[in-house]
A and B are shown apart, each in its own frame.
Chain A
Amino acid sequence: MTPRPALNRSLLAFAGLVLLGGGLLILFAGLDVYRRHDLVPPAGWPLTTPNDVLLGSADRARWSSQGWWWWPAVIAVLALVALLALWWLLTQLRRGHPGTLPVGGTHPQEGVELRDRALSDAITAEAGALPGVEEAAVRITGGPAQPRARVMLTLTPQGEPGVVLDALHAGPLRTASRSTGSPPLPTEVRLQVAHHKPQRAQ
């Protein structure tokens, strides 16, 4: 259960549309835009004049006289919304990781598995020893079906991003894919540079 960017973005867009639509509806009626610009809102439009209120007595009376099913339905919908929101929140807080990775690639060895932690530790150790790299941190993320690697490297002031990237690809990442016998994991590399004072040329 890892955060899914597409899901997050869809739900954010939906929430944004609801807020924007509701806000504009109130603003249009409150600022009397319809009358000033001779616009005729369609029949049944909720708010049309500045004197309207959000919660009219007619609305309240209608809701109160809906029959026995109304309040159970409201409770069910509220419970569903609360549960979905809770699930959505929890997916943000959890960072999934595959647990174990199969060894052997297209012909997985029966019963042979590699802990994701072991793989990331191995990549970390080898990447941290590359020239120009001060610190490395590697995490294997994604579900068991689609493991991914995230590599954070802090370069020394002498490090060159292009060279380090090539070295990372030719060294630790190749070793990792060779030792698991599977094609290399989709990898995202983030490079930072260690903070240091400017050095003047002598």
Chain B
Amino acid sequence: MTPDPSPPAHNSAHRATAPLTKEPEKPGEPAEPGLPEQPTPPSNLTAGEDGGAHRTHRPWSARRLPAALVASVVLVAAGAALVDVVAVRAGRPAAAWRQRLADELATRPVDDVWMLTGAAVAAAVGLWLIVLALTPGQRHWLPLRSPAPGLRASLDRDGAAALLRDAAMQVAGVGKARIRVRRHHVKARADVRFRDLQQVKDDLTAVLDEERDRLALARPPRIVVRVRRHTD
């Protein structure tokens, strides 16, 4: 995946035909979703001035932490077994943990409650690892429309909530606003201190829609506004 040295003429001609769509994948690239950067060929910056917004997808997590955990567990288990097997070959007695483990495994039938519990836990952990392997992760980041291919941007969900809250607080009559940003919708709840409830709600909807467009999200979430009269 070396940076595509294609001349700028090729890129601009290519984008002129389809300015708003994602660049097609190069045929030589594996269609592996786990790669961090989708094969958007880095274009020449002078060709990136078409003003079109390139949809970016949620970045896929590298799954660094679960991989490190699984690797550590495998390393410890294999290392301990290795040390003990070598020690036994060298004429020493087997370690106590190994004798105990072999005894337990040889005497407990599989309907023993410990065996069943262990098996259930193992199956649950296994299912969780499979889910981790197949899902993108990074649910806390909202992808943004990006000004150029090869540039991928995402906005922190808390940051989006803070910006929307600031916008909501500018509406006259709003005393307190709580914004909850999910991936596909935003819930805004506001306490109204004065003015007509419906008017404030309409204003809030308009202001929040405007602020949402300013966030440049690739998939603008639906905004649900709830207002209630503030009572002391």
Contacts and interface: CB of A to CB of B under 8 A. Distances in A.
Interface of A: 3-6, 8-13, 15-27, 29-32, 47, 50-57, 60, 71, 74-75, 78-79, 81-82, 85-86, 88-89, 92-93, 105-106, 145-146, 148, 155, 157, 160-163, 165-166, 169-170, 173-174, 177-178, 182-193, 195-196, 198-201
B2 to A, nearest CB: 6
Given A51-B109, A82-B82, A3 B64 contact: yes
B146 A165 contact: yes
B153 A50 contact: no
A188 B216 CA distance: 16
A79 B34 contact: no
Nearest to A195: B162
B68 to A, nearest CB: 4
B206 interface: no
B77 to A, nearest CB: 9
A95 to B, nearest CB: 9
6 contacts: A5-B62, A12-B70, A20-B130, A82-B79, A166-B147, A189-B144
B159 A162 contact: no
Contacts of A185: 3, 42, 150
Interface centre among B110, B126, B133, B170 (most CB of A within 10 A): B110
B75 A86 contact: yes
A20 B126 contact: yes
Contacts of B121: 23
Contact of A30 (B62, B63, B111, B172): B111
Contacts of B85: 71, 74-75, 78
Given A82-B75, A183-B4, A56 B116 contact: no
Given A9-B34, A11-B67, A12-B66, A192 B110 contact: no
A93 B30 CA distance: 26
A186 B133 contact: no
